[in-house]
Amino acid sequence: MKRASRHIICLIHALLSAFCLNGQTTDAVVAENDELLNRYELACRQCLDLKNQVNEGAHVSRKDASDVIDRFVSLNTLIKSSSEDLNPVQRTRFEAISRWFSTGERPLVLDHESLVRIIEETTLAASRNNIRIKVIPYNPAPMQEARTDERNTGLKTYILASVSLPQPSYGAMVGIRYGRWGGYARLGSNFRSQDHAYTCLGNGTIEGGGSIWSGGSEARSELKAGAGVLYGPADWFSIYAGMGYGRSELYWDDIDGNWVKVRDLSFKGPSFEAGVLASWKFLTLGAGVSTISFRRVSLDICLGVSF
């Protein structure tokens, strides 16, 4: 009898020890999951705060944005991989944080004072009606949007050389873009200036009477100066458009070696231009069109660096 009592007491002691050890292990897992969820909720708040700053036009460095977003994604992956260890309260909190990140609106369930009450009511309703609680899937779209906006918030500078065709002229273009918007200035010329002895018309008649005896040579002097706006829908791509002043003068020579300005084929006035710039690393290539008083159209090619 004593031996049987001794066995029973030992068995009860072993069972109590096992239950205590299991309870301690469960408490440790719950505490660890709560800590992970606290960090996950904090990372979600930081991501949304970062997105709001970008939308308001604040400058956020690429490194800071990448660190915050990568931390959120890593915690999301870690918690999903051990979701079977989450209790109902923790699982619902995880779903609510993911929904907060996707929609930008903080769910009521994240109010920790009412969390337990809401979970109990939800669990009770589900058990009565056999309703499955829907898990809100993780939506990476806000993260991608934050990355895209962040890429367009820095300062970008262009220094380019340009050539205009078919009448060759050469120049330079300098532009600065902060975020999506910026400005530029351009100057171009064929660096040719010609003195003339008198003027004539395109049909060869000389003002005051007579006609020119042409020597068969001609020259043109061109100058364009302008400025305008830059718009960048992407970090590597910009559109420019602007206006300024331009001058294009045509000269013929006569048989005496004098240069004659052809008045009706020479013009000056407002110039207009538009084009695009595309960058790859530090190299930038541009193409556009320009006109002087809508009487002469040129193709503009740019090549240079951006940083």
One DSSP character per residue, 65-111 reads HHHHHHHHHHHHHHHHHTGGG--HHHHHHHHHHHHHHHHSS--GGG-
* pLDDT for the residue numbered 122: 56
Residue type, 120: E
When mean pLDDT is compared across 108-122, 137-151, 218-232, 256-270, the lowest value belongs to 137-151
Average pLDDT over residues 53-72: 81
pLDDT at 289 over 50: yes
pLDDT at 300 over 60: yes
Hey, is 158 helix, strand or coil?
A: strand
pLDDT at 264 over 60: yes
pLDDT at 240 over 90: yes
Answer yes or no: are the C-beta atoms of 252 and 264 closer than 8 Å. no
Report DSSP state, residue 263.
G
Average pLDDT over residues 195-210: 86
Query: What are residue 301's DSSP bridge partners?
Result: 163, 287
Q: Half-sphere exposure of 139 toward its Cβ, with a 13 Å CA cutoff?
A: 16
* pLDDT for the residue numbered 129: 53
3-state secondary structure 105-132: CCCHHHCHHHHHHHHHHHHHHHHHHCCC
Banded pLDDT at 133 (limits 50, 70, 90): very low
CA 73 centroid distance within chain: 21
Average pLDDT over residues 17-24: 48
Query: What are residue 9's DSSP bridge partners?
Result: none
Average pLDDT over residues 289-297: 92
When mean pLDDT is compared across 14-18, 85-89, 198-202, 283-287, the lowest value belongs to 14-18
The conformational region for residue 259 under phi > 0 = left, psi -120 to 50 = alpha, else beta, is beta
pLDDT at 113 over 60: no
pLDDT at 237 over 90: yes
